[in-house]
Amino acid sequence: MLLSVALTVVAYLLGSLSAAIVVCRLLGLPDPRREGSRNPGATNVLRIGGKWPAFLTLAGDLLKGVLPVLAAHALGLPSWGLAAVMFAAFMGHLYPLYFGFSGGKGVATTLGVVLAMSPPVGLAACLTWLATAAITRYSSLAALVAVGLTPVYTLLWTRQAALVLATALIAAILAWRHRDNIARLRAGTESRIGRKRSAPESP
C-alpha cells in the first residue's frame, strides 16, 4: 500500500517535468505556452523550434510515462497500484506542479504509460493512430480514436478492471483537453497533416 502511494507521488512529480518547457529553455527557444498553439507539446515545439527540439520533447514526454510504470511492474505493484501510477504520470503532464499547473494535452505521455503497461496494447494504439491519420489526415482525430480505443485494447489484453478504468479515465480527460480540436473537426476547420495552419491553434 505505502509503496503504491509513494510511487504514485513519484509518477506525478516526474510527469510534472514538462519536456517542452525544459527543452525550449535549454535551447533558448520561446516558451511554448506563449507561442504557436500555446500548447507545451512536441507538435508545438516542432512549429516553433524545428525537428530536433520536437524529437527531444517527444522523447521526454514518452519517458516520463514509461519509467514510473516500468518501476511499478518491477516492484510488483498490484493492478490498482499500477493504474494509479499510470494516471498520476498522465495528470502530472496535464497539471505540472513545477509550471503553474499549465501543461499539455497528454498524448505522448499516454502512449508512454500504455506502452509500459502492456506493449501489445501500446502497439495496437500506435497502429490505430497511424491508420486513422493515414485515412483522415487529422492528427487530433487520430489521437482521439487511438486513445479512445485503448480501454478496449486493455480489456482484451490484460483483463484487469483497474487498468481498464485508468485508461478509460485518461481517454475521457484527453478528449476534454481536445475539446477545441473536436469543435474544429465538427466545423470542418481543423488543419490536416501536411497543411499549414492559417492561424495558431492547438495540435
Tens of pLDDT, residue by residue over 17-65, are 999 999 999 999 999 998 888 889 888 898 899 999 999 999 999 999 9
Residue 132 lies in a domain: yes
pLDDT band at 156 (very low <50, low <70, confident <90, very high): very high
Mean pLDDT over each residue of the chain, to the nearest integer: 92
Into how many domains does the chain fold?
1
Q: 36 phi and psi, to 5 degrees?
A: 60, -125
Q: Are the C-beta atoms of residues 61 and 19 closer than 8 Å to each other?
A: yes
pLDDT greater than 70 at residue 196: no
pLDDT at residue 195, as a whole number:
60
Helical spans, DSSP H, in the chain: 2-15, 19-26, 42-49, 51-74, 79-94, 107-117, 119-136, 139-158, 161-177, 179-187
pLDDT greater than 50 at residue 200: no
Q: Are the C-beta atoms of residues 5 and 75 closer than 8 Å to each other?
A: no
Residue 201 lies in a domain: no
Residue 194 lies in a domain: no
Q: Which residue's C-alpha cell is 514509461?
A: 66
Residue 170 lies in a domain: yes
For residue 111, what are the domain limits? 2-187
pLDDT greater than 90 at residue 72: yes
Q: Is the pTM of this model over 0.85?
A: yes
pLDDT at residue 201, as a whole number:
41
Residue 192 lies in a domain: no
Residue 157 lies in a domain: yes
Residue 127 lies in a domain: yes
Q: Measured between alpha carbons, how far is 167 from 194 in angstroms, rounded to an integer? A: 30
Residue 87 lies in a domain: yes
